[in-house]
């Protein structure tokens, strides 16, 4: 199995954002389709239907995103930064 490692960069989030919203943001900003995304924090799979705060995701954290592709598994690192205050 081929594993490709990439770095997506930082993505801004709200503290109450859901896992689904975060995945949609990754797709919009970086083109990785939501159904292919598996997000992990400290080896814990982040489940749809929960807020990122349920997993204690906060500014400065790095999430691991695994993407199942035809060429193998691609692993990307995603940095978390807070949304700027309105």
pLDDT at 2: 40
More confident of the two residues 1 and 49 = 49
pLDDT at 6: 61
Length of the chain as a residue count = 86
Structural domains for the chain: 3-81 (3.10.20.90)
72: left (phi over 0), alpha (psi -120 to 50) or beta: left
Residue 32 sits at the vertex; the CA angle it makes with 27 and 36, to the nearest 5 degrees, is 110
The reported pTM is 0.78
What confidence category does residue 3 fall into, taking pLDDT thresholds of 50, 70 and 90? very low
pLDDT digits (tens, 9 = 90+) for 25-81: 888 888 889 999 999 999 999 999 999 999 998 888 888 888 887 777 777 777 776
């Amino acid at each position: 199995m081929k594993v490709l490692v990439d770095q997506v960069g930082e993505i801004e989030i709200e503290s109450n954002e859901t896992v689904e919203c975060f995945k949609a943001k990754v797709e919009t900003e970086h083109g990785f389709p939501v159904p292919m995304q598996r997000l992990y924090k400290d080896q814990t799979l982040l489940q749809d239907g929960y807020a990122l705060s349920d997993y204690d995701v906060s500014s400065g954290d790095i999430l691991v995103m695994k993407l199942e592709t035809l060429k193998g598994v691609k692993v990307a690192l995603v940095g978390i930064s807070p949304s700027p205050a309105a």
